[in-house]
Amino acid sequence: MKREVAIVMGSISDWDTMKEAAEILENFGVNYDKKVISAHRMPKEMFAFSETAKDKGLKVIIAGAGGAAHLPGMVAANTILPVIGVPVKSRALNGMDSLLSIVQMPAGIPVATTAIGASGAKNAALLALQILGINDEEIAEKLVLFRKKQHDDAEKSGEQLG
Ligand SMILES: Nc1c(C(=O)O)ncn1[C@@H]1O[C@H](COP(=O)(O)O)[C@@H](O)[C@H]1O
């Protein structure tokens, strides 16, 4: 089955955050690859993955990392596929280090950076789906239903106020 999204992360310790992205893709019935490919600890594998990603049929890459989070930027440097970076909450600095490492890319090599942590991972998956939805009507329709449910749930929650 075709896999158009990859979720990569710097460490298995990031999975707790990145699994939120995986869950959303699964709910939308979208297959994905998932890998640990640290730019720091596995530089050769990181280069090989990024350089071959487009030819393998991937369309979007979600890259999560914490601390000195170079992985999203280094993946982006080696592919023209859109890269969505998720700053994983770090123990020492609560993810501010991750956020700034990912968001402050030099002009020319963009990384679409999300919020820190689980919310960011969820939004990364939704943004990936929105990118796929440009050319995939089935995904686009599921996104419309998702937004409607979100709206209806929010509206209903207000009823608790009486
Ligand atoms: N930021 C990076 C990169 C990278 O950017 O290549 N490789 C690992 N890491 C991060 O180190 C943190 C701690 O990793 P460990 O828990 O394995 O010590 C993780 O959040 C990971 O993303």
Render pLDDT for 68-109 as a digit per residue (tens, 0 to 9): 999 999 999 999 999 999 999 999 999 999 999 999 999 999
Residues whose beta carbon lies within 6 Å of some atom of ligand 1: 9-11, 13-14, 38-41, 65-71, 88
Locate the domains of the chain by residue range.
Answer: 5-160
CATH of domain 5-160: 3.40.50.1970
Q: What is the pLDDT of residues 10-68, one digit of tens each?
A: 999 999 999 999 999 999 999 999 999 999 999 999 999 999 999 999 999 999 999 99
**Burial profile 120-153: b = 16 or more Cβ within 10 angstroms, e = fewer:** bbbbbbbbbbebbbeebeebeebbeeeeeeeeee
Residue to substitute in 8, 11, 62 for testing ligand 1 pocket (most ligand atoms within 8 angstroms of CB): 11
Task: Give residue 56's pLDDT.
Answer: 97
Note the pTM of the prediction, 2 decimals: 0.97
Instruction: Map residue 34 onto helix, strand or coil.
Output: strand
Average pLDDT for the chain? 97
Ligand 1: residue of 14, 88, 93, 99 to mutate (most ligand atoms within 8 A of CB) is: 14
pLDDT of residue 2: 82
Q: In the predicted model, is pLDDT for residue 162 greater than 90? A: no
Ligand 1 nearest-atom number relative to CA 39? 6
Mean pLDDT computed over 113-127 = 98
ipTM of this predicted structure: 0.99
